[in-house]
């Protein structure tokens, strides 16, 4: 492929290799997630993508010696990493499992008692899901196969429709990422901390010659090897993945703190080292502040702190801050798009006119697909506005500050719209359509936009030809979504999502449809109290932003609040390793200065690399032997 000006061109065979690895990763991530509940898209960067890059680097060393012409350039290695990352935003527990759980659930579980068909089944388009219970039997019970005519034909139309819808949604976000690319990278000079590991692996020969890197690598590797041996031979002692503190707080008011676990994840410690100190401090500070709030509320007799409503408003507040800070750049993009045709900015893969047209087309297509699901236009517009707000805020927080984990759960657009407008005004048909879209914002762990923004940053820093980079990302999304649907249907019919699958794909339908059933049977008005708390959360992050802009020393960051202020999610699993990373970095910077901080960077990257590589090896052993191995990353212990 010929490159755009200002970048190293990419050979076509590299893109073909990338496509093959996209398909393999779609299957691997999906099966590991749903058969063994090994969640590889929980933390960013994705461990399967780092593993793929690591294997390619090892093979590339051999290729340079035996067949130099077959060796890949650093730009080509990173292009493949980008493609694998794109498919990983689709496959796995954080997105496709939720979508498949939603699509397959309603007609298999429909009974006279729950009245699924009467309540909302008539609002689901026939071509959007599978209604034939005979076709669904093998999917849920297993010991069957996808590859019979009835199964293929029943799933073909839903798969094509949802694939097109996902490509449109992801394409629109990629367009917005491209529009903001120059502003974030060149004007605001965001650092994109989570891109450091793949860039160092592919472009820095000194990285693998660093002794301190191998020390960090060895620590994480040793822990994973011992845990893997424990899986195979239980007599071997294992390192505990976490320690439950809440077991010691069983009496009121301390029991009000809820779930409280100390994770001993070395990869998170390594990634937290690259977070700005004020953010890493803010995340664990606000985590404990919300626990203190719960204790005080329990003493005072307050029933509900509305933490999710406050956090939802705070995320929207971050989006408003992002839009306001980029207002001049966005105005320039719009002006350029409607100005007389001129030369394209060589720093951009497309002219702003082309970019605005493509982004607009993808956005319109996204709205059109939502309308086809039966949603009214005003509902679609509000849904997409909330979807885009979460995308902008999560992408910005990742690009500026690099949190490795950002579970935004419990306040998807559907829930927020129910609180703002009430179920009476939305009506059963709109509520059903919003339920079908639940997967797009259920937990946001592997959200596409932050990953897209980071992949564009990798292309910029490694000098990958810009236009081929964008088209490779689009290709990976398009082929990746089809490969992921195929993978899920293939192993689901073999194992049965309610028979031998340990993941949650068979259970997500209850999470999607139980609220819908309740809302239709018991309509509710707008929740004014919840809306007020959303505004309070929004006002709080705007206040923090104002204080930080006027008081240089102010330590609390609004992004830290949104990452830890909700009822669940945020840093609930990883507050402790983030605190450890913050503490170590604070000591190093204070007593060794920036020189010592930079010298020790490879050691902390080694912690991440060792953990990710060995976890991936254990996962392949688990999948290959059809064996449950918790140390490969099962569940949220990682």
**Which of 178-187, 432-441, 622-631 has the lowest average pLDDT?**
622-631
412 CB-near residues (< 8 Å, 6+ apart): 438, 440, 441, 442
Question: What kind and span of H or E run contains 261?
Answer: strand 261-263
In this structure, the dihedral spanned by the alpha carbons of residues 266, 270, 271 and 277, taken in order and rounded to 10 degrees, is 120
Q: Which residues pair with 544 in a beta bridge?
A: none
> DSSP letters along 88-142, please?
HTTSSTTTHHHHHHHHHHHHHS--TTTTHHHHTGGGS-GGGS---HHHHHHHHH-
- C-beta atoms surrounding 378 within 10 Å: 10
**What HEC string does 415-430 produce?**
HHHHHHHHHHHHHHHH
SS3 call for 411 = coil
H helices present in 437-465, as ranges:
448-462
**Which of 122-131, 274-283, 298-307, 351-360 has the lowest average pLDDT?**
298-307
Q: How many helices (H) and strands (E) does the chain have?
A: 22, 2
**Which of 161-175, 447-461, 616-630 has the lowest average pLDDT?**
616-630
Distance CA 547, CA 180 (A): 25
Distance CA 579, CA 280 (A): 7
* Residue count (the chain): 638
267 CB-near residues (< 8 Å, 6+ apart): 43, 47, 220, 404, 607, 608, 611, 612, 638
Which phi and psi angles does 242 have, rounded to 5°? -160, 175
| Cα–Cα separations (whole angstroms), residue 72 to 1, 18, 78, 119, 401 | 14, 12, 10, 56, 31
Distance CA 629, CA 231 (A): 6
Question: Does residue 407 sit within a domain?
Answer: yes
Question: Does residue 2 sit within a domain?
Answer: no
- C-beta atoms surrounding 354 within 10 Å: 13
Question: Does residue 4 sit within a domain?
Answer: no
Closest of 589, 625, 576, 620 to residue 241, by C-alpha: 576
Question: Does residue 240 sit within a domain?
Answer: yes
| Cα–Cα separations (whole angstroms), residue 184 to 2, 176, 191, 325, 355 | 27, 12, 9, 10, 17
Highest mean pLDDT among 431-435, 505-509, 622-626: 431-435
Q: 289-297: which pairs have CB atoms within 8 A and are 24 or more residues apart?
A: 290/564, 290/565, 291/257, 291/258, 291/260, 294/256, 294/257, 294/258, 295/253, 295/254, 295/256, 295/257, 296/253, 297/256
Average pLDDT over residues 117-125: 94
* The total number of structural domains that make up the chain: 1
Chain center to CA of 79? 19
Question: What kind and span of H or E run contains 354?
Answer: helix 352-372
Distance CA 586, CA 395 (A): 26
573-617 pLDDT tens trace: 899 999 999 999 999 999 999 999 999 999 999 999 999 999 999
Model pLDDT, residue 346: 64
303-355 pLDDT tens trace: 788 999 999 999 999 999 999 999 999 999 999 888 876 655 666 788 889 99
- Burial zone of 63 (CB within 10 Å; 0-12 exposed, 13-18 middle, 19+ buried): middle
86-104 pLDDT tens trace: 999 999 889 999 999 999 9
314 CB-near residues (< 8 Å, 6+ apart): 537, 538, 540, 541, 558, 561, 562, 565
Model pLDDT, residue 80: 98
Contact status, residue 281 vs residue 553, Cβ threshold 8 Å: no
Question: Does residue 578 sit within a domain?
Answer: yes
Question: Does residue 540 sit within a domain?
Answer: yes
Question: Does residue 537 sit within a domain?
Answer: yes
Average pLDDT over residues 613-636: 84
Instruction: Name the average pLDDT for the chain.
Output: 92
Distance CA 101, CA 185 (A): 38
Chain center to CA of 256? 29
Contact status, residue 53 vs residue 106, Cβ threshold 8 Å: no
Domain limits for position 521: 12-632
Question: Does residue 6 sit within a domain?
Answer: no
Distance CA 535, CA 209 (A): 52
612 CB-near residues (< 8 Å, 6+ apart): 47, 50, 51, 267
Q: What pLDDT band is residue 75 in, cutting at 50, 70 and 90?
A: very high
SS3 call for 276 = coil
The structure's pTM equals 0.95
């Amino acid at each position: 492929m010929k490159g755009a000006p200002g970048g190293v061109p990419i050979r076509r065979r590299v893109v073909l290799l990338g496509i093959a690895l996209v398909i393999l990763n779609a299957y691997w991530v999906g099966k590991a997630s749903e058969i063994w509940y090994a969640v590889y898209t929980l933390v960013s960067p994705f461990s399967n993508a780092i593993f793929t890059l690591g294997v390619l680097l090892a093979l590339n060393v051999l290729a340079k010696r035996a067949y130099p012409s077959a060796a890949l350039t650093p730009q080509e290695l990173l292009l493949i990493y980008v493609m694998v990352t794109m498919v990983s935003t689709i496959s796995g527990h954080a997105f496709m499992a939720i979508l498949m759980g939603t699509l397959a659930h309603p007609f298999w579980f429909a009974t006279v008692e729950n009245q699924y068909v009467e309540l909302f089944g008539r609002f689901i388009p026939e071509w959007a899901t599978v209604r034939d219970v005979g076709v669904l039997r093998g999917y849920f019970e297993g010991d069957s196969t996808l590859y019979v005519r009835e199964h293929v034909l029943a799933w073909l139309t839903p798969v094509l429709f949802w694939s097109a819808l996902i490509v449109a949604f992801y394409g629109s976000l990629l367009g917005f990422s491209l529009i903001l690319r120059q502003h974030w990278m060149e004007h605001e000079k965001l650092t994109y901390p989570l891109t450091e590991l793949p860039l160092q692996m592919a472009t820095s020969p000194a990285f693998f010659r660093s002794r301190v890197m191998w020390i960090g690598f060895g620590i994480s590797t040793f822990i994973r090897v011992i845990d893997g041996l424990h899986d195979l031979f239980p007599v071997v002692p294992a390192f505990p993945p976490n320690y439950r503190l809440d077991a010691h707080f069983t009496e009121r008011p301390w029991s009000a703190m809820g779930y409280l676990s100390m994770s001993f994840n070395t990869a998170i410690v390594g990634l937290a080292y690259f977070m700005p100190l004020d953010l890493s401090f803010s995340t664990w500070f606000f985590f404990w502040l919300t626990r203190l709030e719960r204790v005080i509320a329990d003493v005072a007799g307050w029933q509900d702190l509305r933490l999710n409503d406050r956090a939802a408003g705070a995320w929207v507040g971050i989006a408003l801050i992002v839009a306001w800070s980029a207002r001049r750049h966005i105005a320039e993009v719009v002006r350029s798009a409607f100005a007389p045709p001129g030369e394209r900015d060589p720093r951009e893969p497309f002219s702003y006119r082309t970019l605005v047209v493509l982004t607009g087309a993808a956005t319109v297509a996204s709205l059109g697909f939502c309308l086809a699901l039966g949603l009214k236009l005003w509902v679609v517009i509000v849904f997409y506005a909330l979807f885009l707000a979460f995308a902008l805020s999560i992408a910005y927080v990742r690009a500026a500050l690099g949190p490795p984990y950002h579970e935004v759960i419990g306040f998807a657009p559907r829930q927020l719209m129910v609180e703002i407008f009430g179920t009476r005004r939305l009506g059963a048909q709109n509520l059903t359509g919003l339920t079908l879209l639940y997967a797009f914002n259920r937990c946001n762990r592997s959200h596409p936009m932050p990953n897209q923004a980071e992949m564009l940053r990798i292309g910029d820093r490694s000098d990958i030809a810009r236009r081929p980079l964008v088209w490779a990302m689009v290709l990976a999304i398009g082929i990746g979504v089809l490969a992921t649907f195929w993978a899920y249907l293939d192993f689901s019919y073999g194992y049965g999502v309610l028979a031998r699958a340990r993941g949650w794909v068979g259970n997500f339908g209850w999470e999607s449809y139980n609220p819908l059933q309740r809302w239709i049977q018991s309509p509710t008005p707008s929740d004014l109290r919840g809306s007020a708390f959303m505004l309070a959360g929004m006002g709080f992050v705007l206040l923090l932003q104002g204080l930080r802009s006027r008081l240089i020393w102010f330590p609390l960051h609004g992004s830290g609040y949104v990452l830890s202020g909700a009822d669940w999610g945020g840093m609930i699993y990883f507050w402790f390793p983030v605190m450890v990373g913050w503490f170590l970095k604070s000591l190093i910077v204070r007593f060794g200065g920036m020189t010592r901080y930079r010298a020790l960077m490879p050691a902390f990257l080694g912690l991440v690399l060792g953990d990710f590589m060995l976890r991936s090896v254990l996962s392949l052993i688990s999948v290959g032997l059809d064996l449950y191995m918790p140390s490969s990353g099962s569940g949220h212990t990682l």
